[in-house]
A and B are shown apart, each in its own frame.
Chain A
């Protein structure tokens, strides 16, 4: 087909077929290079759809020395005291959702895996491993982000800490062992201590927080 066109063409213009073939090759090369460059730049632009990691103080992960503050409610951003935890014990939801506040007074609430559950529990009921990372008063903290699909574990039912999304249930006295639902792993524990009535982070999470996906 191409040959036929070429001959037809050269008949019209009395052109050297060799020159025609060269011109064709140059055009094809130019087309190829343009297509390649277009594809590359399209990929370059497309890659910008991947969100950038912004490094701002409010997105820093929880660190030793952070103070736990209320994440929600009328007391949001205020320090959680031992009294608050005692008062919560008498409520239907006996725990408090918290964010860490850095020594520079930044509440690190823009990183979702910084959502922490803190509760005052009876140390005698805790397993030895759990007790080791709790404060002597019985203040206990876990990552509040469900290992299943990342909801905040926000319910309390029959003495179990429960996720409202797909019914995952955790035993807070036993390193958040999964006792019900489809959750593949326990949420990590956060070592805490009490200093001057405030809850202070005493160590790293025992495992990576956030959904196990």
Chain B
């Protein structure tokens, strides 16, 4: 059998080329894989959901809605929840999306903290940033599909934030959502459904493939220990069988853990909010939008002017400008901090105090603007939150810079001296 296949497909060559790819072994290297596992889980659970979901808001009634007339999309969610394990699979879809975004973010942090984005891997960093943005966008386009009052409200806020982009915002929002969101706009759900289950996932698959092909072509940056073990050589276990076995085990653990979470914390019961009405319930976004939500709340109301027919209001500053600047900043990182020589080994965060404390400062900014999302609940004043959002990250960055220098600086200097002395005789 093997020979028959090998004869026709040259499996031997494929094995030698692709399956022997060396994977460095380090626990932080599994974050990208967890992101990939989440995506696979999302596709599989998503297929199940599409088979039972009706992308329409035509009014229907039946035993599941107690005879009450509800939108068909909403009814089909009740139907999915009534299937064996239906609610768990829907919940798994929800939590896998959260885990995918979280894992992708942590993966990006690992790359950032170890300088793995430097020459020659700038391109894959950029692909990665787009993947994270697309993953968040995909999650967002799925919000409206259950078509309960919460879903519609959350999506409507997204519509208006999109419309707050100058000049083209309204047009783009209208194209994405098929017009203004309302409980009776029949075109919105089919439009978002197509984007959520077809176009964005296809784009994600294409970009994930590109991400992996570039990674295989360029090889992983090597962990620090590889330099000591075998300098100048690629160290790691082959994709097949060792890495594949580890990935398999991790995938099973991942599925087990997320299914447990999904079963224990059933996501978003649509009955809690009911079908959309003219009323707006109290909503809070998911954690990966909470920071934008926080910033939107503390932007002063009077920051508003009009320019060439476009309105630049608080919605623009908080909802469009800040996220755009952060994405552009992320894209610029490999060009601001680059190395002329090709980067072979990961850098220790302790040896790069500026970069490490910058990352800590950015994380603090995220935490503080998330805290601003609880402005009303905690009764915090705008002035205090502005200080927290702007000053605390800077102070945190400065303090961690001083601490890293104080703790690791001496050790580092000694090592540099040892290295120089070690090289001494060779140059003589």
Chain A residues packing against B (C-beta within 8 Å): 49-51, 58, 71-72, 97, 99, 109-112, 115, 144, 148-155, 163-168, 178, 181-185, 211-213
Contact = CB atoms under 8 A, between A and B. Distances in A.
A50 B171 contact: yes
A184 B314 contact: yes
B169 to A, nearest CB: 7
A47 to B, nearest CB: 9
Interface of B: 153, 156-157, 159-161, 163-164, 169-171, 174-175, 178-182, 184-185, 187, 277-283, 293, 296-304, 311, 313-316, 318-319, 375-376
Contacts of A151: 153, 156-157, 280
A69 B316 CA distance: 34
Contacts of B169: 213
Contacts of A112: 180-182
Contact of A51 (B187, B282, B314, B319): B187
Contacts of A49: 175, 178
A166 B277 contact: no
B283 A212 contact: no
Contacts of A165: 153, 157, 280, 283
A99 to B, nearest CB: 7
Given A49-B175, A149-B315, A211 B280 contact: no
A184 B301 CA distance: 5
Contacts of B179: 51
A154 B278 CA distance: 9
A24 to B, nearest CB: 35
B184 A110 contact: yes
A212 B313 CA distance: 8
Contacts of B153: 151, 165
B286 to A, nearest CB: 15
A111 B313 CA distance: 24
A163 B279 CA distance: 11
A164 B282 contact: yes
B160 A150 contact: yes
A89 to B, nearest CB: 19
Nearest to A149: B160
11 contacts: A49-B175, A50-B175, A71-B277, A99-B278, A109-B184, A112-B180, A112-B181, A149-B157, A167-B375, A182-B298, A185-B304
B278 A150 contact: no
B163 A152 contact: no
Given A71-B279, A110-B184, A166-B293, 6 more contacts: A50-B175, A110-B185, A149-B319, A167-B375, A168-B301, A182-B296
Nearest to A179: B301
A154 B153 CA distance: 12
Contacts of B181: 112
B279 A211 contact: no
A181 B278 contact: no
Contacts of A71: 277-279
A213 B277 contact: no
A110 B278 contact: no
A213 B156 CA distance: 13
Nearest to A46: B175
Nearest to B373: A166
B313 A213 contact: yes
A178 B182 contact: no
Given A151-B153, A182-B299, A109 B278 contact: yes
Contacts of A166: 293, 296-297
A186 B362 CA distance: 35
B168 to A, nearest CB: 12
